[in-house]
Amino acid sequence: MIIQLDMQSDVPIYTQLMNQIIEGIARGDLKLGEALPSVRGLASDIGVNLHTVNKAYNLLKQEGFIQIHRQKGVVIQPDAMPLVTPEYELKQHNQLRPIIAEAICRGMTKEQLLQVTEQIHKEIMHNEKGNA
């Protein structure tokens, strides 16, 4: 999977890394159980420090998206993805709320908002690899 970083973004590199790996899983580019590059390998590939990659990996592990085996390496969680917990629902709510509030201020209708959501959902799901 190709990682694209924006070094000018105000989003931290380790967050961008997390987001791209999560989207990679969502779109099926990264299969359950699939191996990820080593911290040193990925850091070298994308030109950042190994600790930056390590931080992203450890946060992903903490949230249950990947497994880290001390002398084997890093793999996408092989069994099943983390589920929709009450804590996650709360986090998601707090993330969405200010975005939706601003959309309302700017005059977007509920229908337009739902359409944008549906559009992004489609963008993520519609990969070319035939995710069947």
State the minimum distance, in angstroms, from the CB of residue 73 to its own copies.
21
Residue 38 binds DNA (CB under 7 A): yes
Q: Could you tell which of DNA, its own copies, none binds residue 14, using a CB distance below 5 to 8 A set by kind?
A: DNA
Positions 21 through 60 that interact with its own copies (CB under 8 A): 22-23, 25-27
CA distances from 86 to 5, 31, 34, 60, 114 (A): 31, 26, 28, 18, 23
Closer to DNA by CB, 28 or 73: give it: 73
**92 contacts: CB under 8 Å, gap ≥ 6:** none
Question: What gap in Å lies between CA 118 and CA 82, rounded to an integer?
Answer: 22
The smaller minimum CB distance to its own copies, of residues 41 and 89, is found at 89
